[in-house]
Amino acid sequence: EVQLVESGGGLVQPGGSLRLSCAASGFTFSSYEMNWVRQAPGKGLAWVSYIHSSGTTIYYADSVKGRFTISRDNAKSSLYLQMNSLTAEDTGVYYCARKQWLGPGADYWGQGILVTVSS
Amino acid sequence: DIQMTQSPSSLSASVGDRVTITCRASQTISTYLNWYQQTPGKAPKLLIYAASNLQSGVPSRFSGSGSGTDFTLTISSLQPEDFATYYCQQGDSPPFTFGPGTKVDVK
């Protein structure tokens, strides 16, 4: 069974940092491209970042470029999101999502982890 | 960047109704268009990928169509579990933007 489990969220002050992790199981993690998607409270979905299966190609939303860093450790079947210089606008639930093997969609999602940026 | 719009932003419907949601991209995206369903407190669920392909396990009452800039999600006969918010997303080029969502609630 495919599982994606996020961790590392919580309350952080403005300007602070957090590192989210996503532990993958039930599939060959090293073969799949991955994404982070977030959702502010009461708002819609917002794509955050993408990483190729090899880690060689990475994309970011403009809103996080220069502050967030996506990475992966295929040996540990884990995806990461290092978030620096956090602001209140970064508050929300963060999901890791697996991109389909063949197709543009995200076919498996984690349960989400809450990040709250507040003083 | 490609902008995605959806209409309507919300709709009220009854069980058994046929429901249609439209999504428009600000530039052509071929068929790199996905549809997701989200219920409160839950992660999104992929319904349709590449504009018209039904994701495994998704009921056949869901269908998608379109190409280029205009796309449609149709629920042929709304079921109680279908009251949710629906999002389109383009997978053509980064940033892989989502539409603002369409909330389907009970009439």
Judged by CB atoms closer than 8 Å, whether chains meet at B43 and A104 is answered as no
Give the largest Cα separation in chain B, rounded: 38
Judged by CB atoms closer than 8 Å, whether chains meet at B38 and A45 is answered as yes
Residue A102 has pLDDT above 90, yes or no: no
Residue A89 has pLDDT above 90, yes or no: yes
Averaged pLDDT for residues B83-102: 97
Judged by CB atoms closer than 8 Å, whether chains meet at A46 and B98 is answered as yes
Q: Report residue B30 CA to chain centroid gap.
A: 16
Judged by CB atoms closer than 8 Å, whether chains meet at A106 and B38 is answered as no
Task: Name the pLDDT band for A113 (thresholds 50, 70, 90).
Answer: very high
Averaged pLDDT for residues A88-101: 97
User: Residue A45: its chain B contacts at CB < 8 A?
Assistant: 36, 38, 44, 87, 89, 98, 101
Task: Name the pLDDT band for A5 (thresholds 50, 70, 90).
Answer: very high
Residue B21 has pLDDT above 90, yes or no: yes
pLDDT score of A103? 86
Averaged pLDDT for residues A11-25: 98
Please answer whether residues A82 and A73 qualify as being in contact, where contact means their C-beta atoms are separated by less than 8 angstroms.
no
Averaged pLDDT for residues B40-54: 97
Q: What is the pLDDT of residues A19-62, one digit of tens each?
A: 999 999 999 999 999 999 999 999 999 999 999 999 999 999 99
Measured in degrees and rounded to the nearest 5, phi and psi for residue A30 equal -65, -10
Judged by CB atoms closer than 8 Å, whether chains meet at A104 and B50 is answered as yes
Nearest CA among A15, A1, A2, A6 for reference residue A118: A15
Can you tell me the distance from the alpha carbon of A21 to that of A77, in angstroms, rounded to the nearest whole number? 10
Nearest CA among B52, B55, B35, B45 for reference residue B99: B35
CA A19, A25, A31, A35 torsion-angle sign: negative
Averaged pLDDT for residues A103-108: 94
Average pLDDT, chain B: 97
Q: Which of B39, B96, B97 to mutate to test the interface with A (most CBs of A within 10 A)?
A: B96
Please answer whether residues A86 and A17 qualify as being in contact, where contact means their C-beta atoms are separated by less than 8 angstroms.
yes
User: Residue B38: its chain A contacts at CB < 8 A?
Assistant: 45
